Structures are given as C-alpha cells and as structure tokens.
Amino acid sequence: MSDPIIDLGSWLEQPAGRYIRAWEQALLDQLTSDIFGFHALQIGLPQINALAANRMPHKWVTDEVEPDKTHQRARSSVVLVHDFAELPFDSQSIDLVVLPHILEFAAEPHQVLREVERILIPEGRVIISGFNRASLWGARQKTGRITGRYFLPKEGEFINAARMKDWLKLLNMEVNQADFGCYAPPFATEKWLSRFSFMEKMGARWWPYLGAVYMVQAIKRVKGMHLIGPALKRKRLPSGHAVQVANKMKNQKEQNG
C-alpha cells in the first residue's frame, strides 16, 4: 500500500493540483512574510514551499521520505521523521508551523495537532490548509466514494473548516484568520480550469465559504501568561518626604507674598 502523502504529492503535479498549489503558495507567501521569530517548520509536502517568503533564520521541512533534488528548499533543512505524530523538536521551541494538507491524510490527526501545540512557543503561529468538504470538489470526492472513481487521493478524510477551528480551540489555539479559495469546478485539465477562471472573483464575493480549499491561521495562547514590555523606572518620593516638600513650597509662597 502506498503512502497517502506521496499520492497527494503526485496529484499536486497534475493540472488540478497545480491550480490548488498556485492559490495556496500565493496566500502562504502573504501570510508568512510578516511572521517573525527564529525557527519555522513545514510539516510534509515539499511540493509546496510554504516558508519561501518567511525571513526566519532557521527553517525546516519534515518529510517521511528522502526528498528529490527538485524539491530541495534553499535555506531550509529537511528533517526525516518516522511519524508526524512524534516530532523531533523540543517543547516550546518553534515560532511558526505550517501544515499543508497533512492532517486530512494523517492516521492520527489529533495527535499531530497536539504535537504542533507542544513544540510551538507561547504566541506562536500555526497555519493549516485543507480541502473543503462543503464545495464542488468535496461533493465530487464524496461521489467518488460511491462510484470508485476518485478525483482526489482516496485516503483523504477531509476536515471542514468549522471542525478544524473546534480542534484548535480545544488546544487553546485562537483562530485569527480563515481564507477560502479555488472556486472553479473540479476539472482535470488546465484548459477547462482556465475557462472557469471567472468564477474566482464571483465565488469570493457571493459564496466565499464554498472554495475548494481553505487556510486557517491560529495563535497559541497560554492561560495566565501576559506579554511584558520594557519596565518604566520611575522614582517615587516617599509620602512623608512629599509632605515636607509641599510645606516648604507653601512657606516660600507666604514669605514672597
């Protein structure tokens, strides 16, 4: 049996996959460019260069297979892992984690998400992309389960955006942004996808939550923790000394008067 993540990687090289990948790459570049810190991590799918626009000095891509030279990432180190549910990073050591379609193909998506929460620093960011079940693409995939003719890799258990937000909330992750995109029908050829490109603006305006894919960004919140800025040192006079100064100023005023 083949690895479902590998199957998804192969699918992303096809016309429909490139269509999805182009939208996700543009949005990831926008979201990650202004996230600062020291350590950023992409979990799986080197076909998507999720950290391309991020400027952190240390960036990693975890993968379950040895990547080929085509998907080697400049300034990113590839870390081979046996299981995404057991990440080889210290607790509270990563500033940003990106999961492109990993949870919906993982055997234990909850555990993967718990691992992400473990390694994120307080106020760290996580960005998750997934296929939208409430879309034409999700409907075609559901039909494929009945007919046996799948459009997307059949192993995927797609998680709708609302459920993803609930999972994040349970882990004290505060969702601060959710985007939907790719409104063209699920065609397999670039020709037909291009013909329906007019649906991008229409979909974003009239049915924004029905895009083929979504991307959710969340911040790790730690209860009882407050961010503290530079302390302002102000020299306060003792109350007794303040009274003496006030009396002295009063006596001087009476003498001058």
Full set of structural domains in the chain with CATH: 4-256 (3.40.50.150)
Q: Which pLDDT value is given to residue 223?
A: 78
pLDDT, greater one: 234 or 253 = 253
Residue 112 main-chain phi, psi, to 5 deg:
-60, -45
User: Helix count (H) and strand count (E) of the chain?
Assistant: 8, 7
Mean pLDDT value across residues 112-141: 94
**Beta strand 213-220 with 173-181: parallel, antiparallel or unpaired?**
antiparallel
pTM of the predicted structure, to 2 decimals: 0.81
Instruction: Name the nearest CA neighbour of 215 among 154, 164, 139.
Output: 164
pLDDT, one tens digit per residue, over 19-31 is 999 999 999 999 9
Quote the CA–CA distance of 39 and 55 in Å, as a whole number: 10
Confidence of residue 254 (pLDDT cuts 50, 70, 90): low
DSSP state of 159: -
Least confident of 135-139, 151-155, 190-194, 198-202: 151-155
pLDDT, one tens digit per residue, over 75-85 is 567 777 777 88
Q: Flag whether pLDDT at 122 surpasses 60.
A: yes
Mean pLDDT value across residues 150-162: 85
